[in-house]
Structure 1
Amino acid sequence: MRVKLTLIITFLFFSSDFFSQESDFLSFRNGFRNIKLGENIKNYPDFELKNDRNLELFKLSFNSGSNYVYVGQENDKISSTKILFIYLNINNDTIERIHIVTQKVSGLYYILKNAYGDTSTEIGKKWIWRTENIECSIEGDDSNIPGYHIVYNYLSEVRIKLNEIKSKRSKEAQNEL
Structure 2
Amino acid sequence: MSSEGLAFIVFVGGMLSLLGVGMNMGLALVLTGAAMSWVLGFWDTQLLAQNLVAGVDSFPLLAVPFFILAGELMNAGGISQRIITMAQAWVGHIRGGLGFVAIGAAVLMASMSGSALADTAALATILLPMMRQQGYPLHTSAGLIGAGGIIAPIIPPSMPFIIYGVTTNTS
TM-score by length of 2: 0.29
Greater CA radius of gyration, 1 or 2? 2
Q: Which has the higher helix share?
A: 2
The normalised TM-score by structure 1 is 0.28
